[in-house]
Structures are given as structure tokens and as C-alpha cells.
A = this chain, B = another copy of it.
Amino acid sequence: MTQDSLTHLCAYDALRTQPSPIRDICSLVNQPEMRSLAGGWPDPKTFPIEETRRIVVEILEDHEGKVLQYGSTEGLLELRQELARQAREEGDTECQPDEIMITHGSTQGMDLVSRVFVDPGDVVMVEMPSYFGAFGAVTSSGGDVIGVPLDDDGLETKTLAQKVRQLKREGKRIKGVYVIPNFQNPTGLTLSLDRRKHLISIAEEFDLMIFEDDPYGELRFEGERIPSLKSMDGSGRVIHMRSFSKSFAPGIRVAWLSARANVMRRMAIMKQFVDACTNTLGQYIIYEFLRRGLLKERIGLLIAHYRRKRDFMIAQLEKHFPAEVHWTRPKGGFFIWVRLPERIDATELLTGAISRKVVFVVGPPFFPNGGGRNTLRLSYSQVGEEEMEPAVAALGHLIKKSLSRLYD
């Protein structure tokens, strides 16, 4: 019996779930001398190795066995208290510790959301383009994602309302809207205050949840912080997801989400059977970083670090890319979104780039319903400046070559 012969035993949703489009790129990234503008991984040079070491030594001494024992499914109480306090300061004025849950990354947050709210055939509305990991979570729960375009103010909420109305008329069950409000992945765009208010009213009008995924919001380089959707929510429709993967480091897989206690309870029941609890060691590390004010200090340094990298990449794009190419100028986060002339296929460009030891992520996987052939995402987060310049120069060269060939 061959291995494939067991496929008939697999679940429908498992067969339907496709690998992440950056799986293959991730293996390329590990090749020697490869210059990666691909993954949204933070810069390991910024990781707080020294403080982490000191804190682990101290917590193992102070709390002994507790640091290595199972914890509650909702997460370490001290940490949730600290996060509730922070949420109240940020404008979610009623937030209590029992409205917070610690998760293994925001990836898990969105997976729990999908499992609690998405039945087979249900629809979740998303920005177009948006992060394909969220599409995977919805799809693996049997749901479908339908996209709505963005402009410079983020998700086009008028179009959203029209589309939702139309889909409901067609009999679709729409459960919610997934949105990355700050420095969106992949575009780097931010949802304006007016649009946020409109989105909240649309959720009320059409009886939808809002899944607010905000891993980058703390890394704002310029301009005023815009209140979260969660802080504008009067009826418990918003689930707000945050992560320490960018502000601390991803390798401990600690993130959190907040939602009304009743929704939270359902998420916790699900998490019991998903992984019992988030790793205790990582939660204690984060708690100490928060309690000692080290995280705040660190975020200040990270903002300066990534702002410099963004500026450097924009300067390189201006220098090496032809005038026919357009890109966003993010006010924070990790990503720049590039639109090539329509005649150029980003996937063909990637093939040429790989042979010159440069990788990036092509646009199409970010489009849930097709499109984006001439788009791509560049990340300045992980790559050093010394590699960024030749990488962007090589891409610029390839784009120019392909334009001149097309004009021939």
C-alpha cells in the first residue's frame, strides 16, 4: 500500500487547505548568499538576548517549578492583568483580565476565531490584498474569504457595505470582516479613523463580527496613533489580536487577544482541546519585560531601527526602480507594496530574481479571489542595509530589462 492511498481517509477541509505560498520561498531564503526581501520576520539583530538571559535566570530562581508547569488555558493571570491595564490606557476603557487570552502567536488567535465563528460555507470579508495566513485559517474551517479593495485610507468601506448587501441578497452567510488596521500586510496601508467608524457601523448594520489583527501597530514611525476598532466597539463585535512577535521576538510564540468575556469563554473552551495552554516560560518572560518597562523602552528602539530601514529601502527604490513602477510609503510596520506596469508578471520577475540571489513574495497569494499578477511585496524588516541595496538594484535592473523587451 502506498502512502497516497490513505488520502481517502482525510477530511474535506484538510484536502482543501493549500500550503502557504511562502513555504517554498522560506526554503530558498536559507540558501547561502540569498538576499531576502520576502518574509515578514523581524530583524534578529534587534532581539533582546542579554535581557532575556537575565530574566530567565531570575524567573527560574524566583518562581521555580511554576515557570515550567502547565498554566491555565486563558494564560498567566499577572500577564493578563498587565495587558488589561495597557488596553485600558490605549482607550479600550472597560477591558478586564477575563477578556484577555494569551495565544501561541496571532496565527492561533485567527485560527481560534475561525473555529468559533466559521461554519462550512460561511463567508469572511477581507481586504484585497491581505495576509494569506488568515485566508488559510478561514479555509481550514470550511469557510470562504471574499475580498474588498483598499485605497490610501485602507479598506474601502463603502464598497464593503455594497458587497455585503449583495452577498446577503444572494443568500450567503457572512460572519465577519478580517482587517489589519495598521501598516497592513502586505500593503503597509493604514485604515483611517473615519473608515474605522464606518466599519463599526457596517458591522452593526449587517450583524457581523470584526476580527482586528494588529501585530504591527506599535511600530509606528510617524503620525498619530489611531484608536483601535476594539475601543470603538459598543456591542462586543470586535475581537482584537495583538502579538509580541514583532515587539519582543517571535520564537517564544506569545501573543494575546481581547474580546468580550462571553466570546472569550468560547475561545478558551476551544483552546483547551487545541493545545491546553500557551507555553508558561514564554509568558513569564513577556510578563517581566512588561512589568519592568523593558518592552516600552525596546519598542522605542525598534521604531528608530525599522524607520531607518524603511527610509533606506525607499531611497533604493527611488534610485533603482523605473518611473513606471509604483509603491506605498508605509508609516510603520515591515512592508512596502509594489505595483509593476501591467505588462510585467511578478512571478516571472521572481524567477529572474532568484537566479540573481534575490527573493520577494509575489502579489497573487494575497488576493483571495484572483488578481494581482503585476504586484509584489517587499519587506525591509529582516535584511541588512548592505544586502538591501544590491537586492533592490538587481530587481530594478530586471524590471527595466523586461520593460525594454516589452517595448521592442
Q: Which residues of A contact B (CB under 8 A)?
A: 1, 3-4, 6, 9-14, 17-20, 23, 26, 39, 41-42, 44-45, 47, 49, 52-53, 56-57, 60-61, 64-73, 103-105, 107-108, 111, 115-120, 122, 133, 136-137, 139-141, 175-176, 207-209, 234-237, 245, 248-253, 260-263, 266, 269-270, 272-282
> In whole Å, how far is A112's beta carbon from the nearest beta carbon of chain B?
9
Q: Inside 8 A of A282's CB, which chain B residues have their CB?
A: 279, 281-282
Q: Inside 8 A of A20's CB, which chain B residues have their CB?
A: 269, 272-273
Pairwise interchain contact A280-B266, C-beta atoms closer than 8 A: no
Cβ-neighbour of A104 out of B9, B69, B279 (below 8 A): B279
Contact A67/B23 with A14-B117, A262-B4, A282-B279 known, Cβ cut-off 8 Å: no
Pairwise interchain contact A10-B56, C-beta atoms closer than 8 A: no
Pairwise interchain contact A279-B266, C-beta atoms closer than 8 A: no
Known: A45-B65, A133-B276, A251-B281. 9 other contacts (CB 8 A): A1-B236, A47-B68, A53-B60, A56-B57, A69-B250, A104-B104, A107-B275, A108-B274, A139-B273
Contact A260/B3 with A68-B47, A116-B10, A117-B9 known, Cβ cut-off 8 Å: yes
Pairwise interchain contact A274-B11, C-beta atoms closer than 8 A: no
Pairwise interchain contact B3-A263, C-beta atoms closer than 8 A: yes
A/B interface sample: 19 pairs, CB < 8 A: A1-B234, A1-B235, A9-B207, A11-B119, A14-B115, A14-B116, A14-B117, A17-B273, A44-B66, A47-B65, A53-B60, A56-B60, A105-B276, A107-B274, A111-B275, A140-B274, A251-B279, A252-B281, A282-B282
